[in-house]
Chains A and B, each alone.
Chain A
Amino acid sequence: MELKILSAVLILLPMASAVFIYHTRKLAHLLTSCVLAVELAAAVMLTGFVGEAFELPGVCGLGLNFSDTGLQSWLCILAGFLWLVSGLFSGKYLKQDSKNNRYYLFLLLTEGAIMGVFLSADLFTTLVFFETMSFASYPLVIHHGTQSAIRAGASYLSYAVIGGMVSLMGLFLLWTLLGTLRYTELAEAVSSYNGDSKGIFLAGCLALVTFAAKVCMFPLHTWLPGSYGEAPSPATALLSGIITKAGVFGIFGLTAKLFEGSHQWGNLILICGIITALVGGTLALFNTNLKQTIAYSSMSQIGFILVGTGMTALLGEENGLAVWGSILHLTNHSFIKLVLLLVGGVIVYNVGQLDYDVVRGFGRGKPALAFAFLMPALGVMGVPGWNGYISKTMIHEAIVEYIEELEHLGEAADLYHVIEWLFLIAGGMTVGYMTKLFVCIFLEKNTNPTVQAKYDTQNKGYASKLWLFLLDGCALMFPVLGFGAHATQDKIAAFAQDFFGSGVEEHIDYFSVGNLKGAGISLAIGVVLYVGFVRTLIRTKDGYRNRWPKMLDLENRLYVPLLFTVLPFVGAFCARFVGSLFEWASKLVNKVLFFRYNKYVTPGEDHYFARYKAEDPGVRGYRGQLAYGLALFGTGFVVVIAFLLISNGFLF
Chain B
Amino acid sequence: MIRLFLFLIIAVGIPAISLIAFADHDTRTANVNLICGLMIGLISIGALSFGKGTCWGWDFGVFALRFGVDGCTRIFGILFGCIFLLAGVFSLEYMDHDHAPHLYNMFFLLTFWAMLGLSLSQNLFTYYMCYELMTVLSLPLVIHERTDGAMKAGMKYLGYSLFGASLALFGFFCLSRFCNSTDFVVGGSLKAAASTEPGVFLFAVFCLLIGFGCKAGIMPLHFWLPTAHPVAPAPASAVLSATITKAGVLGIIRVIYYIVGADAIRGTWVQYTMLTLALITVFSGSMLAFKEKLMKRRFAWSTVSQVSYVLFGVFLLTGSGLQAALLQVIFHAVCKTALFLTAGAIIHHTGCTYVSELKGVGREMPLLMACYTLASLSLIGIPPFAGFVSKWQLVTSGMEVFGGFGIAGGVVLLTSAILTAGYLLPISIDGFMKDGTIKAHRKPTWRMNLPMMVLSGALLLLGLFPHGLLAVMTFIGELL
Binding site for B on A (CB under 8 A): 58-62, 127-129, 131-132, 135, 142, 145, 150, 153-154, 157, 161-162, 164-166, 168-169, 172-173, 175-176, 568, 571-572, 574-576, 578-583, 585, 607-609, 644-645, 647-650
- Known interface pairs A172-B396, A578-B280. Does A128 touch B384 (Cβ–Cβ under 8 Å)? yes
Q: Can you list 20 pairs linking A and B with CB atoms under 8 Å apart?
A: A58-B467, A60-B384, A60-B389, A61-B393, A154-B429, A157-B421, A157-B425, A164-B382, A166-B414, A172-B399, A172-B410, A176-B396, A571-B287, A575-B287, A576-B288, A579-B223, A579-B284, A580-B223, A582-B223, A649-B197
Question: Which residues on A sit within 8 Å (CB–CB) of B208?
Answer: none
Question: Which residues on A sit within 8 Å (CB–CB) of B287?
Answer: 568, 571-572, 574-575
Give B395-418 as 1s and 0s: 1 = Cβ < 8 Å from A's Cβ atoms: 110011000001100110011011
B199 touches A161 (CB 8 A): no
Give B135-173 as 1s and 0s: 1 = Cβ < 8 Å from A's Cβ atoms: 000000000000010011011000000000000000000
Q: Which of B285-332 contact A (CB under 8 A)?
A: 285, 287-288, 290-291
A173 touches B223 (CB 8 A): no
Q: What is the bound-complex CA distance between A175 and B270, given in angstroms?
A: 29
Picked from A127, A579, A607, the residue with its CB within 8 Å of the CB of B155 is A607
- Known interface pairs A142-B433, A650-B200. Does A572 touch B290 (Cβ–Cβ under 8 Å)? yes
Q: What is the bound-complex CA distance between A110 and B477, given in angstroms?
A: 40
Distance (Å) between the CB of A107 and the closest chain B CB? 17
Q: What is the bound-complex CA distance between A129 and B203, given in angstroms?
A: 47
Interface check B434, CB cutoff 8 A: yes
B429 touches A150 (CB 8 A): yes
A579 touches B199 (CB 8 A): no
B414 touches A169 (CB 8 A): yes
A579 touches B288 (CB 8 A): yes
Q: What is the bound-complex CA distance between A645 and B392, given in angstroms?
A: 42
Which one of B29-37, B67-75, B458-466 is at the interface?
B458-466
A607 touches B395 (CB 8 A): no
Please name 17 further chain A to chain B contacts, defined as beta carbons within 8 Å, in addition to the given A161-B380, A582-B220, sorted by A numbering.
Answer: A59-B464, A60-B463, A62-B392, A127-B383, A128-B388, A153-B429, A164-B382, A169-B395, A169-B411, A169-B414, A172-B396, A172-B410, A571-B287, A575-B285, A583-B223, A607-B151, A607-B154
Interface check B215, CB cutoff 8 A: no
B288 touches A61 (CB 8 A): no
Q: Which of B418-443 contact A (CB under 8 A)?
A: 418, 421, 425, 429, 433-434
Binding site for A on B (CB under 8 A): 148, 151-152, 154-155, 197, 199-200, 203, 219-223, 280, 283-285, 287-288, 290-291, 377, 380, 382-384, 388-389, 392-393, 395-396, 399-400, 406-407, 410-411, 414-415, 417-418, 421, 425, 429, 433-434, 463-467, 470
Question: Which residues on B sit within 8 Å (CB–CB) of A166?
Answer: 414
Q: What is the bound-complex CA distance between A157 and B155, given in angstroms?
A: 41
- Known interface pairs A169-B411, A575-B283. Does A161 touch B418 (Cβ–Cβ under 8 Å)? yes
Question: Which residues on B sit within 8 Å (CB–CB) of A132?
Answer: 382-384
Closest 10 CB pairs of A and B: A648-B199, A607-B151, A575-B284, A582-B220, A61-B389, A128-B383, A575-B287, A176-B399, A165-B414, A161-B421
- Known interface pairs A61-B392, A645-B200. Does A578 touch B467 (Cβ–Cβ under 8 Å)? no
Distance (Å) between the CB of A30 and the closest chain B CB? 24
Question: Which residues on A sit within 8 Å (CB–CB) of B377?
Answer: 135
Question: Which residues on B sit within 8 Å (CB–CB) of A568?
Answer: 287, 290-291
List the count of A-B residue pairs having beta carbons below 8 Å apart: 131
- Known interface pairs A579-B288, A645-B200, A649-B197. Does A173 touch B399 (Cβ–Cβ under 8 Å)? yes
Picked from A60, A581, A609, the residue with its CB within 8 Å of the CB of B388 is A60
A650 touches B384 (CB 8 A): no
Q: What is the bound-complex CA distance between A650 and B199, given in angstroms?
A: 8
Question: Which residues on B sit within 8 Å (CB–CB) of A161?
Answer: 380, 417-418, 421, 425
Question: Which residues on A sit within 8 Å (CB–CB) of B417?
Answer: 161, 165
Question: Which residues on B sit within 8 Å (CB–CB) of A58?
Answer: 465-467, 470
Question: Which residues on A sit within 8 Å (CB–CB) of B466?
Answer: 58, 60-61
Q: What is the bound-complex CA distance between A85 and B5, given in angstroms?
A: 66
B291 touches A579 (CB 8 A): no
Question: Which residues on A sit within 8 Å (CB–CB) of B407?
Answer: 173
Q: What is the bound-complex CA distance between A41 and B17, given in angstroms?
A: 61
A571 touches B410 (CB 8 A): no
Q: Which residue of B lies closest to A166 (CB)?
A: B414
Q: What is the bound-complex CA distance between A509 and B287, given in angstroms?
A: 60
- Known interface pairs A579-B222, A583-B223. Does A176 touch B199 (Cβ–Cβ under 8 Å)? no
Q: Which residue of A lies closest to B143 (CB)?
A: A607
Question: Which residues on B sit within 8 Å (CB–CB) of A582?
Answer: 219-221, 223
Distance (Å) between the CB of B259 and the closest chain A CB? 20
Question: Which residues on B sit within 8 Å (CB–CB) of A572?
Answer: 287-288, 290-291
Picked from B152, B284, B411, the residue with its CB within 8 Å of the CB of A607 is B152
Question: Which residues on A sit within 8 Å (CB–CB) of B203?
Answer: 644, 648
B283 touches A571 (CB 8 A): yes
Q: Which residue of A lies closest to B197 (CB)?
A: A650
Question: Which residues on A sit within 8 Å (CB–CB) of B400?
Answer: 176
Q: What is the bound-complex CA distance between A132 and B374, given in angstroms?
A: 12
Question: Which residues on A sit within 8 Å (CB–CB) of B290?
Answer: 568, 572
Q: Which residue of A lies closest to B151 (CB)?
A: A607
Distance (Å) between the CB of B373 and the closest chain A CB? 10
A575 touches B395 (CB 8 A): no
Q: What is the bound-complex CA distance between A431 and B283, given in angstroms?
A: 50
Question: Which residues on B sit within 8 Å (CB–CB) of A128?
Answer: 383-384, 388
Distance (Å) between the CB of B15 and the closest chain A CB? 28
Q: Which residue of A lies closest to B414 (CB)?
A: A165
B151 touches A579 (CB 8 A): no
Q: What is the bound-complex CA distance between A576 and B200, given in angstroms?
A: 32
Question: Which residues on A sit within 8 Å (CB–CB) of B415?
Answer: 165
A579 touches B433 (CB 8 A): no
Distance (Å) between the CB of B139 and the closest chain A CB? 13
Distance (Å) between the CB of B395 and the closest chain A CB? 5
Interface centre among B221, B383, B399, B414 (most CB of A within 10 A): B383
Distance (Å) between the CB of B81 and the closest chain A CB? 25
Q: Which residue of B lies closest to A604 (CB)?
A: B152
Q: What is the bound-complex CA distance between A305 and B200, given in angstroms?
A: 64
- Known interface pairs A164-B382, A176-B406, A572-B291. Does A648 touch B151 (Cβ–Cβ under 8 Å)? no
Distance (Å) between the CB of B295 and the closest chain A CB? 18
Question: Which residues on B sit within 8 Å (CB–CB) of A607?
Answer: 148, 151-152, 154-155
Q: What is the bound-complex CA distance between A161 and B285, given in angstroms?
A: 19
- Known interface pairs A61-B466, A150-B429, A579-B222. Does A168 touch B414 (Cβ–Cβ under 8 Å)? yes
Q: What is the bound-complex CA distance between A175 and B320, given in angstroms?
A: 15
Q: Which residue of B lies closest to A135 (CB)?
A: B382
Q: Which residue of B lies closest to A583 (CB)?
A: B223
Question: Which residues on B sit within 8 Å (CB–CB) of A581?
Answer: 220
Q: Which residue of A lies closest to B406 (CB)?
A: A176
Q: What is the bound-complex CA distance between A238 and B415, given in angstroms?
A: 30
Interface centre among B199, B384, B411 (most CB of A within 10 A): B384
Q: What is the bound-complex CA distance between A142 and B432, given in angstroms?
A: 11
Distance (Å) between the CB of B369 and the closest chain A CB? 13
Q: What is the bound-complex CA distance between A582 and B389, given in angstroms?
A: 34
Question: Which residues on A sit within 8 Å (CB–CB) of B399?
Answer: 172-173, 175-176
Q: Which residue of B lies closest to A63 (CB)?
A: B467
Q: Which residue of A lies closest to B284 (CB)?
A: A575
Distance (Å) between the CB of A273 and the closest chain B CB? 27
Question: Which residues on A sit within 8 Å (CB–CB) of B223?
Answer: 579-580, 582-583
Question: Which residues on B sit within 8 Å (CB–CB) of A578?
Answer: 219-220, 280, 284
B433 touches A60 (CB 8 A): no
Distance (Å) between the CB of A644 and the closest chain B CB? 6
Question: Which residues on B sit within 8 Å (CB–CB) of A154?
Answer: 429
Picked from B219, B411, B464, the residue with its CB within 8 Å of the CB of A579 is B219
B384 touches A608 (CB 8 A): no
Question: Which residues on B sit within 8 Å (CB–CB) of A175?
Answer: 396, 399
Q: What is the bound-complex CA distance between A576 and B284, given in angstroms?
A: 7
Distance (Å) between the CB of B309 and the closest chain A CB? 14
Q: What is the bound-complex CA distance between A618 and B203, given in angstroms?
A: 46
Q: What is the bound-complex CA distance between A576 and B280, given in angstroms?
A: 11
